[in-house]
């Protein structure tokens, strides 16, 4: 090749580079106009054969890198090396699946580390636009978005949702489950009991003379009584048991894989502890209770009804007692 031809080729290459640079600048400006969505970092292009990624500088700038810190011909590793370890495999697996023609597009959300060590969240979507004759990927085009702020807000909402769900699950005064959660958890235990042929027992209790306590000492003392009994119930349950506030001064205890006589002994221990509790009332604090078991019937409503009937009998026959049959 003579010198004149060499210079001509060099000039053409230089011209094409300048033209390509201008076209890319125009394309990146158009990105902001055509896709004015919040977090849009523009388009990217990947020449698979040469492993050259061309991308809107915003993608690297958002990570804290200046144009001078990005290689002139950056490969995909410039970004994949910064992926969060927990996200790396998913990102690469989805890309491989798309390059093999197994999925119509490559679409993934991932965490990527910025220059200062913080983590951004990118949503990336791309597609092979050119294939070789033997169906190998040649060229991909895609768009990337910085969705970090959205993810932060999402996490805050999830935390708030968890908090409010917790507030709805736990009775604020007694710190045991609310009645709505009780039905949900009791149904789960009932289904488990049927499927695994494991019996369970419930104990329904009512504080004796609670109305008199409220009328004589006021609702603040009444609340103190309720809080005390809630604490005693929780402290004397096994792992897997649960207590719920069934009504005003009524509580339901559920004992999975426990028969009625043992449940009654647990209830009697709670009665003894309650009698010695320090409360600003004249008389000992007692409760009456009724016990029922899934051994007696497989109908959850009937189990509750049996316990309620026996609770009524306990109150009618002198209170401060537990009736199991």
pLDDT in tens, 222-235: 999 999 999 999 99
170-323 shares the fold of 35-152: no
> Alpha-carbon distance 245 to 297, whole Å?
23
Answer yes or no: CATH 3.40.50.620 is held by domain 35-152. no
Q: Where in the sequence numbering do the catalytic residues fall?
A: 249
Task: Give the tens place of pLDDT for each residue, 263-295.
Answer: 999 999 999 999 988 888 888 899 999 999 999
Q: Can you identify the CATH homologous superfamily of domain 170-323?
A: Reverse transcriptase/Diguanylate cyclase domain (3.30.70.270)
Of 24-28, 136-140, 149-153, 156-160, give the lowest mean pLDDT range.
24-28
CA distances from 142 to 98, 107, 155, 211, 322 (A): 13, 9, 27, 70, 70
Domains of the chain, residue spans:
35-152, 170-323
For residue 40, the model assigns a pLDDT of 80
| 3-class DSSP state of 277 | coil
> Alpha-carbon distance 102 to 276, whole Å?
71
| pTM (two decimals) | 0.56
- Which range of 10-24, 106-120, 165-179 scores highest in mean pLDDT? It is 106-120
Instruction: Tell me what the pLDDT averaged over the chain comes to.
Output: 87
Token pair 């009932």 is found at 190
């Amino acid at each position: 090749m003579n010198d004149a031809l060499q210079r001509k080729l060099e000039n053409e290459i230089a011209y094409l580079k300048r033209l390509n640079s201008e076209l890319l600048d125009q394309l990146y400006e158009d990105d902001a106009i055509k896709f004015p969505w919040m977090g849009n970092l523009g388009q990217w292009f990947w020449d698979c054969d040469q492993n050259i990624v061309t991308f809107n500088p915003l993608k690297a700038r958002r990570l804290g890198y200046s144009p001078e810190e990005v290689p002139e011909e950056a490969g995909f590793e410039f970004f994949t090396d910064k992926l969060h370890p927990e996200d790396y495999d998913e990102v690469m697996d989805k890309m491989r699946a798309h390059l093999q023609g197994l999925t119509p597009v490559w679409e993934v959300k991932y965490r990527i580390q910025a220059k200062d060590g913080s983590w951004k969240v990118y949503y990336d979507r791309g597609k092979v636009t050119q294939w070789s004759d033997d169906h190998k990927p040649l060229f991909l085009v895609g768009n990337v978005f910085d969705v970090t702020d959205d993810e932060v807000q999402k996490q805050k909402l999830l935390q708030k949702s968890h908090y409010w769900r917790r507030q709805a699950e736990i009775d604020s005064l007694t710190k045991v489950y609310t009645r709505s959660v009780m039905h949900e958890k009791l149904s789960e235990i009932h289904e488990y009991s049927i499927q695994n042929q494991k019996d369970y027992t419930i104990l329904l209790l009512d504080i004796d003379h609670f109305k008199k306590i409220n009328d004589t000492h006021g609702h603040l003392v009444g609340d103190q009584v309720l809080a005390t009994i809630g604490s005693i119930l929780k402290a004397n349950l096994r792992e897997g048991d649960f207590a719920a506030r069934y009504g005003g001064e009524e509580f339901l205890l559920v004992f999975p894989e426990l028969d009625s006589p043992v449940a009654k002994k647990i209830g009697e221990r709670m009665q003894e502890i309650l009698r010695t509790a320090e409360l600003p009332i004249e008389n000992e604090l007692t409760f009456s209770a009724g016990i029922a078991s899934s051994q007696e019937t497989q109908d959850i409503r009937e189990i509750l009804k049996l316990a309620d009937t026996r609770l009524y009998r306990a109150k009618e026959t002198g209170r401060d007692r537990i009736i199991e049959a």
